[in-house]
Amino acid sequence: MMVYIWNYESKILYQKEQKDLQMAVEAQSQKLSSELERRQKETRFLASLEVMDDLIANDLDKRVSNMLERKANDLEEDIILLAVKNGKIVSASKSNYIDQNFQLFNDKYLYFSAPTYASFNKKVLLGTIVLLYPFKNLTNLTMPKNTKLLWLTPPHKLKLFENPKIDKNKHLIVSQNLKGTLSNWKMHLAYQKYKAFETLNHIKEMLLYTFLFALGLLILTVWLISKNLLKGVQRLSKTSQEIIQTKDYTKQVIVESDDEIGQLSSSFNTLISQTNSLLTQLDTQSKTHFENLIELISFFNTITQTKDRESTLAIAKEKMLQFKEASNMDKRFLDATSSMVTLQLERISLLDSTKEALEAKSLFLSTISHELRTPLGSILNLTQHLMVSESLKDEDVDMLSKIETSATHLLGMINNILDISKLESNKLIVHKQKVNLKTLLEEIVEMIEPLTSEKELQLIQTITIDDEEITTDPQLFKQVVINILSNAIKYTNYGSITLAMKQSKNQYLLKVVDTGIGIEPKLLNHVFQEFYQSSVSLKNLGNSSGLGLALSKKVAHLLKGNLEIFSKGKDKGTTLYFTFSSF
Domain boundaries, the chain: 2-195, 198-229, 235-298, 332-428, 431-581
Q: Angle between the 394-424 and 548-558 helix axes, to the nearest 10 degrees?
A: 40
d(CA 552, CA 480): 5
pLDDT at 531: 58
Residue 404: the pLDDT is 64
Per-residue pLDDT tens over the stretch 76-117: 888 888 888 887 888 888 878 787 776 666 778 888 888 998
User: Cα–Cα distance between 191 and 193 in angstroms, integer?
Assistant: 6
The pLDDT value given to residue 440:
84
Return the bridge partners of 48, or none: none
Q: How far apart are the first and last CA of the chain?
A: 93
The structure's pTM equals 0.37
Give every strand in the sheet of 109-118, ordered side by side.
Answer: 88-92, 80-85, 121-134, 109-118
pLDDT tens figures, 195-224: 766 666 677 777 778 878 888 888 887 777
In this prediction, the residues of the chain whose per-residue pLDDT falls under 70 are 1-10, 102-105, 144-147, 194, 196-201, 225-233, 256-257, 259-261, 322-334, 352, 354-374, 376-378, 380-382, 384-394, 396-397, 400-401, 404-429, 526, 529-548
With CA atoms as reference, report the closest residue to 493 among 467, 455, 543: 455
pLDDT of 537: 41
pLDDT of residue 530: 58
Q: Is the CATH code 3.30.450.20 the one for domain 2-195?
A: yes
The dihedral sign for the CA sequence 235, 237, 243, 245: negative
Cβ partners under 8 Å of residue 41, min gap 6 = none
- Tabulate helix, strand, coil % of the chain (nearest 5): 60, 15, 25
**What is the separation of C-alpha 21 from the centre of its chain, rounded to a whole number of angstroms?**
54
C-alpha–C-alpha distance, residues 419 and 395, integer Å: 36
CA distance 326 to 330: 9
pLDDT at 536: 43
The SS3 of residue 435 is strand
CA distance 52 to 63: 9
Compute the distance between CA of residue 44 and CA of residue 181 in angstroms, rounded to an integer: 14
pLDDT at 376: 64
Rounded Cα distance, 493 and 535, in Å: 14
Q: What is the pLDDT of residue 456?
A: 87
For residue 540, the model assigns a pLDDT of: 44
Fold classification of 332-428 is Helix Hairpins (1.10.287)
Give the pLDDT score at 547: 62
Domain 431-581 -> CATH class: alpha beta
Q: Are 121 and 8 in contact (CB under 8 A)?
A: no
Nearest to 42 by CA among 3, 7, 77: 77
Q: How far is CA 306 from CA 22, 75, 297, in A?
A: 106, 131, 15
How would DSSP label each residue in 257-268? -SSHHHHHHHHH
Phi and psi at 168, nearest 5°, equal -65, -25
By three-state DSSP, how is residue 557 classified? helix
Q: How far from chain centre, in Å, is Cα 54?
A: 91
